[in-house]
Amino acid sequence: MSSALASARRPARAHVVRVGETVSLRLRRRPLVAGAALVALVLALLVVSVGTGDFPIGPAGVVKALVGQGDAGTVFVVRDLRLPRAVCALLIGVALAISGAVFQALTRNPLGSPDIIGFQQGASVGALFVITVLGASGVAVNGGALAGGAVCALAVYGLAFKRGGTSGYRLILVGIAIGFLMLSLVNYLLARARVEQAEEATRWLLGSLNGRGWSDVVPLAVVLAALLPALPAAARALRALELGDDSAHALGVRVERARLALVALAVALVAASTVAAGPVAFVALTAPQIARRLARAPSPPLLCSALTGTAIVLAADVAAQRLVPGTTLPVGVMTGAFGGLYLAWLLSTEWRRGRA
């Protein structure tokens, strides 16, 4: 699932696990260690996240409430109020990070991002329209986001499509143009909105986990459950595709088909995540890059990226709730801060040591 890079000084041996003649797995140490550390981190953050809020609960209390022990009030708070929010954060982190990793591997560009398809921008317009023009909120907003995003993504694809298929380059340019168009519309809607609407709209735009209940989580979980089994195959295809179209073809990969399937996978993940909690920025961009450096892999490893994404979103949510006493910031604000700062730090220390 992820491949490791041997350190220039000390080659990391891979462990091969063989079962009979048919099963053999190659496991490299560094991503495994990184992955295990991330899992521990995620669990810890999960407990902290559930314990955070107007009614603080210590870690022991959280664990007890999760299994149903403890007083009814605590169990209610944990299971019905906080857990869905935390699970939502977790799933969003997974979805966005994998989507970003797939795009960055496909485009061989560390700035590759699912935003290109325009889904998030279209979803923003749709949601804002519902909030500021129709004055509605709740499920209607999710619906607006889905409709707006779908229309936008289809428009981008349709406009980029010419006889012979979509040239990747044309797709990106059209995606960017439509993205800016949507951004302008968003700004326009914001500027003419009433004050209260503007605040709600801005919060949605930044990605918000406030008030997320099981009804928001379930569709996202369903989509993820449906798509996750495809991941190991996706990772295999990506490893061939990143060698260039010619080499990938020579290795027996149906390049066009694989690429289309991977793009569809990435877009579905982004769509599900955006509809659930709005466009949470910078996770898709930064998580794969961070994961890549943690696992010392040539390209963003899927599993590690997912864990990193989850860690970022959970940590961001906790910070968003605790940073400014009295208000809850949108989670997207903190993901930007964490993701951006950590990436900047990684980049500058790395470059000072002289590794690209």
User: Which residues 114-173 are close enough to bind other proteins by CB under 8 A?
Assistant: 159-160, 162, 164-173
Nearest to 211, CA basis, from 281, 147, 278, 134: 278
Determine the interface stretch with other proteins among 47-55, 73-81, 130-138, 327-335 (rule: CB under 8 A): 327-335
Question: Rule CB under 8 A: is residue 41 a binding residue for other proteins?
Answer: no
Determine the interface stretch with other proteins among 62-70, 80-88, 246-254, 265-273 (rule: CB under 8 A): 246-254
Instruction: Tell me which residues in 175-194 interact with other proteins (CB under 8 A).
Output: 176-178, 180-181, 183-185, 187-188, 190-191
Nearest to 342, CA basis, from 282, 265, 267, 290: 290
Instruction: Tell me which residues in 295-314 interact with other proteins (CB under 8 A).
Output: 296-299
Size of the site for other proteins (CB under 8 A): 107
CB of residue 200 vs other proteins: minimum separation in angstroms? 10
- Among 174, 267, 268, 276, the residue binding other proteins under the rule CB under 8 A is 174
Alpha helix ranges (H) inside the chain = 29-51, 59-66, 72-76, 83-107, 119-128, 139-160, 168-191, 195-205, 214-227, 231-241, 245-250, 255-277, 283-295, 302-322, 331-353
CB of residue 68 vs other proteins: minimum separation in angstroms? 37
Give the Å distances, CA to CA, from 263 to 66, 101, 246, 271. 37, 11, 19, 12
Question: Rule CB under 8 A: is residue 250 a binding residue for other proteins?
Answer: yes
DSSP 99-120: HHHHHHHHHT-TT--GGGG-HH
Binding track, positions 54-93, relative to other proteins; x by CB under 8 A: ----------------------------------------
CB of residue 73 vs other proteins: minimum separation in angstroms? 31
